Structure 1
Amino acid sequence: MKEAISYLLQKDIVFQQIFDLYGEPTISTRPQGFESLCKLIIEQQVSLASAKACYLKLENLLEVVNPENISKTADEDLRNNGISKQKVVYLKALSNAVLNKELQLETLAEKTEPEIKTALTTIKGIGNWTAEVYMMFCLQKEDVFPIGDIALQNTLKELYPVSSKEEMILLSENWKPYSSLATYFFWHYYLKKRNREPLVY
């Protein structure tokens, strides 16, 4: 970690500026497995506060958030607990893939990053952002750059003369092999500037 931070501080003055303002970034970690993927699906395109409230309702409904319980729960009951119609479809697709052994979450850590992304994105409702953030939070992969993240995009536009995703991806080449840490720096800046803390649940 210290070595990676030192590398980025020397590589790009923007990281030194963020470090001087707000200190080291928070590195988010979550356990590997089904529950973390469910949380990421619920977090798609909504605020983390909203996602947390929704997940806690789901947990209260099911008692244990696992593929069996989601699969056998009526869609209407899931929707009545704050899950959108679309995300009910996604959670059921994930549950069925795990139950049918089409997706084996326990083996993902042994795979390469492209293999992990392929395995996850074959499931309806899991796109690149969800797969990439899972790799960062749950598998602690060091060189992931989730370009689909809106907070990341907005921060890059603020700190660099870039406007398109293509320009941002090109820029991120400078931070390899620590693109994940670079992303954590930008999220850290985004939250601290707005007097917000990382949401843990």
Structure 2
Amino acid sequence: MAAGRLAAADPIFAGIESRAGPLPWPVRPRGFPGLLRGICAQLVSNEAAFAIWRRVAALPGATTPEGFLALDPARVGIEGGLTRQKVAHGRALAEAILSGTLRLEALDAMSDEEAVAHLCQVRGIGRWTAEVHLLFSLERPDVFPSGDLALQAAAAHLAGLPARKDARAMAAMAATWAPHRAVAARLLWHHWLHHTKRATLDPA
């Protein structure tokens, strides 16, 4: 099992599940709804992201590209709780899918880096959003969103570091956890949610 191999290779992973409980395995929808959820989660706490996503998903048709574009942007902002910028990013995503600029059906044949680059061509999708989508929706086994602040904080806490590593240093640290970096990310999120006593188990 990947979690056991990680614990054997790096002591920071030892004991996470004994303290925090069995590792949960949330999976998100592929395609537009999964990517839209990632946009909802940008630059907010995980609790806020989950609340916003529930509001957006409750809007009629909002989880399809056609339905999202049919909604009044002001309504999405008011009832969904999205900023004007995030509404614009959701619309750009929907338009890219419908125009064929974003070829979601081709992602499975791409490497992780190719898939990240393809997703990042859409306005409003950066590396973090792309990597989170590959991890939770496509279940890629070796993706690690090194720019995620919770992952940085969890790694620093478990390793006894005085401060969080930045994204580049975090990526270098995570390189030693290949080819199980997605499981490493899930374990670190699991630890941090438990350590900080977060109200939701949704990690990103």
TM above 0.5, yes or no, is yes
**Secondary structure of the equivalent of 1:91?**
helix
CA RMSD, Structure 1 to Structure 2 (Å): 1.9
* Among 183, 197, 201, the residue aligned to 1:198: 201
Which moves more between the two structures, 41-50 or 61-70? Answer: 61-70
Aligned structure 1 segments of 4 or more residues deviating by more than 3 angstroms? none
Structure 2 Cα separation of the partners of residues 23 and 53 of structure 1: 24
**Secondary structure of the equivalent of 2:179?**
coil
Q: Report the equivalent of 1:53.
A: 51
**C-alpha spacing 1:73/1:158, structure 2 compared with 1 (3 Å):** same
2:104 is the counterpart of 1:105: yes
* Among 187, 190, 198, the residue aligned to 1:188: 190
Q: Report the equivalent of 1:140.
A: 139
- Any conservation in 1 of the 2:153–2:164 contact (CA below 8 Å)? no
Instruction: For 1:86, give the aligned amino acid.
Output: Q
Q: Report the equivalent of 1:8.
A: 6
Shift of 1:32: 1.2
Q: Deviations over 1:85-131 (max 9, x none)?
A: 11011001001001101112222122111111011000001001100
Which moves more between the two structures, 138-147 or 41-50? Answer: 41-50
Instruction: For 2:69, give the aligned amino acid.
Output: S
2:38 is the counterpart of 1:36: no
Q: Report the equivalent of 2:181.
A: 179
Q: Report the equivalent of 2:149.
A: 150
Structure 2 Cα separation of the partners of residues 96 and 130 of structure 1: 18
How many residues get paired? Answer: 198
* Among 28, 53, 74, the residue aligned to 1:76: 74
Shift of 1:75: 2.1
**C-alpha spacing 1:101/1:132, structure 2 compared with 1 (3 Å):** same
Q: Report the equivalent of 1:127.
A: 126
Which moves more between the two structures, 20-29 or 5-14? Answer: 20-29
- Any conservation in 1 of the 2:142–2:179 contact (CA below 8 Å)? yes
Q: Deviations over 1:130-157 (max 9, x none)?
A: 0001011011111111011111111122
Which moves more between the two structures, 41-50 or 16-25? Answer: 16-25
Q: Report the equivalent of 1:164.
A: 165
Unpaired segments ≥5 residues, structure 1:
none
TM-score (norm 1): 0.90
Shift of 1:23: 4.1
Unpaired segments ≥5 residues, structure 2:
none
- Any conservation in 1 of the 2:27–2:139 contact (CA below 8 Å)? yes
% identical equivalent positions? 31
**C-alpha spacing 1:87/1:164, structure 2 compared with 1 (3 Å):** same
Structure 1 Cα separation of the partners of residues 7 and 130 of structure 2: 27
